[in-house]
Chain A
Amino acid sequence: MRVLVIEDDQETANFLKRALKEQGHVAEYAADGQTGLDLARGGAYDVLIVDRMLPKCDGLAVIGTLRAEEVRTPALILSALGEVDDRVKGLRAGGDDYLTKPYSFSELLARIEALARRTSPEESNTKLVVGDLVLDRLSHKVTRSGEAIILQPREFRLLEYLMKHAGQVVTRTMLLENVWDYHFDPQTNVIDVHISRLRSKIDKNFGSPLLHTVRGAGYTIRDSAH
Chain B
Amino acid sequence: MIALTKLFRTVTFRLSLTYLALFGAAATIAMVYIYWNTTVLLSRQLHQTIDAELKGLAEQYKAGGLDQLVKTVADRSETPGNSLYLVADAQGHRIAGNLSAVSPELWNSLGPVEFVYSRPAPGGTETRLAYANVFRLTGDYRLIVGRDIEERRELARVIGSAMLWGLGFMALLGIGGGYWVSRNLLDRVDEIGATSRRIMDGDLSRRLPVKGSGDELDRLSEGLNSMLSRIEQLMTSLREVSDNIAHDLKTPLSRLRNRVEAALSEPDGGPVYREALERTIEEADGLIKTFNALLSIARLEAGAGGENRETLDVAGLADELAELYEPAAEERGLVLRASTDEPIFVHADRQLLGQAIANLLDNAIKYGAPSDGAPVSEAKPEIGIAARVAGDMAEIVVTDHGPGVPAPERERVLGRFVRLEASRSEPGSGLGLSLVAAVASLHGGTLKLEDNEPGLRVVLSLPREREALINGTPEQEPRAETHHA
- Which residues does A use to contact B, with CB under 8 Å? 82-85, 88, 100, 102, 104, 154, 180-190, 193-194, 196-197, 216
Q: Which residues 213-248 of B sit at the A interface, judged by CB distance below 8 A?
A: none
Bound complex: CA A193 to CA B354 (Å): 19
On whether A184 and B354 interact (CB within 8 A), knowing A189-B328, A193-B327, the answer reads yes
Picked from B278, B323, B351, B362, the residue with its CB within 8 Å of the CB of A187 is: B362
B308 with A188: CB separation less than 8 A: no
B327 with A83: CB separation less than 8 A: no
Q: Write out the residue numbers on chain B whose beta carbons fall within 8 Å of the beta carbon of A184.
A: 351, 354-355, 358
A-B residue pair count with CB separations less than 8 angstroms: 67
B328 with A82: CB separation less than 8 A: no
Q: Write out the residue numbers on chain A whose beta carbons fall within 8 Å of the beta carbon of B324.
A: 180, 182, 186, 190, 194
B14 within 8 A of A: no
Q: Write out the residue numbers on chain A whose beta carbons fall within 8 Å of the beta carbon of B366.
A: 187-188
Bound complex: CA A183 to CA B355 (Å): 9
Picked from A154, A181, A193, the residue with its CB within 8 Å of the CB of B328 is: A193
B292 with A185: CB separation less than 8 A: yes
Distance in angstroms from B171 CB to nearest chain A CB is 64
A188 with B328: CB separation less than 8 A: yes
Picked from A85, A154, A188, the residue with its CB within 8 Å of the CB of B365 is: A188
A194 with B307: CB separation less than 8 A: no
Q: Which residues 350-373 of B sit at the A interface, judged by CB distance below 8 A?
A: 350-352, 354-355, 358-359, 362, 365-366
What are 5 A-to-B residue pairs whose CB atoms are below 8 Å? A102-B288, A182-B358, A184-B355, A188-B362, A190-B327
Distance in angstroms from A157 CB to nearest chain B CB is 12
Q: Which chain B residue lies CB-closest to A102?
A: B288
- What 7 A-B pairs come out closest when comparing CB atoms? A193-B327, A184-B355, A84-B351, A187-B362, A190-B328, A193-B328, A85-B307
Q: Write out the residue numbers on chain B whose beta carbons fall within 8 Å of the beta carbon of A188.
A: 325, 328, 362, 365-366
Q: Given A104-B281, A193-B331, 13 other A-B contacts at CB below 8 A?
A: A83-B299, A84-B352, A85-B305, A85-B306, A104-B285, A182-B324, A182-B354, A182-B355, A186-B362, A190-B324, A190-B325, A190-B328, A216-B281
Bound complex: CA A100 to CA B295 (Å): 13
Q: How many residues of B contact A (CB 8 A)?
A: 36
Bound complex: CA A40 to CA B320 (Å): 40
A85 with B354: CB separation less than 8 A: no
B428 within 8 A of A: yes
Q: Which residues 281-340 of B sit at the A interface, judged by CB distance below 8 A?
A: 281, 284-285, 288-289, 292, 295-296, 299, 305-308, 320, 323-325, 327-328, 330-331
Most A C-beta atoms less than 10 A away, residue of B306, B327, B427? B327
B432 within 8 A of A: yes
B450 within 8 A of A: no
Bound complex: CA A194 to CA B352 (Å): 22
B53 within 8 A of A: no
Q: Write out the residue numbers on chain A whose beta carbons fall within 8 Å of the beta carbon of B365.
A: 188
Q: Which residues 243-289 of B sit at the A interface, judged by CB distance below 8 A?
A: 278, 281, 284-285, 288-289
A182 with B289: CB separation less than 8 A: no
Distance in angstroms from B439 CB to nearest chain A CB is 11
A180 with B325: CB separation less than 8 A: no
A182 with B351: CB separation less than 8 A: yes
Most B C-beta atoms less than 10 A away, residue of A85, A181, A190? A190
B341 within 8 A of A: no
B328 with A180: CB separation less than 8 A: no
B451 within 8 A of A: no
Bound complex: CA A187 to CA B359 (Å): 8
